[in-house]
Amino acid sequence: MKKLAIVIGVLVVLGLLVLTLIAVGAGSYNGLVKRSQAVDSQWAQVQNVYQRRADLIPNLVATVSGAANFEKSTLTEITAARASVGQLKIDPNSAPSDPAVLEQFHCKGVAKHMR
């Protein structure tokens, strides 16, 4: 009877040991699954940020293109304005035909540039 009690006690202890190992294994597996899901979630956030950046690139290109066109037109206008500074423009329909009057316009323009 003592042998039977010892065998039953050993079997109970072994059974508890096996149940403990199964519980620890299941807990470890659940922890690994939880960590895997956390990593997948964080990676999804990284991909989300990359996608948002990729979506903003066409907007940035359009903005820079618009600014470049503005700068080009501004530079063209400035160049034309600088080129016309020394020119005397007379409307051919209302232009004086008297050479003395034309000389007076010329003298005013030269005097203006001499200052």
13-52 pLDDT, tens digit each: 999 999 999 999 999 999 999 999 999 999 999 999 999 9
Residue 62 has pLDDT above 70, yes or no: yes
Q: What single letter denotes the amino acid at residue 44?
A: A
The CA distance from 60 to 55, in Å, is 10
Q: Which residues contact 102 (CB under 8 A, 6 or more apart)?
A: 96
Query: Is this prediction's pTM over 0.75?
Result: no
Quick check: 110 and 95 in contact, CB under 8 A?
no
Residue 97 has pLDDT above 50, yes or no: yes
pLDDT, greater one: 10 or 112: 10
φ, ψ dihedrals at 90, nearest 5°: -125, 135
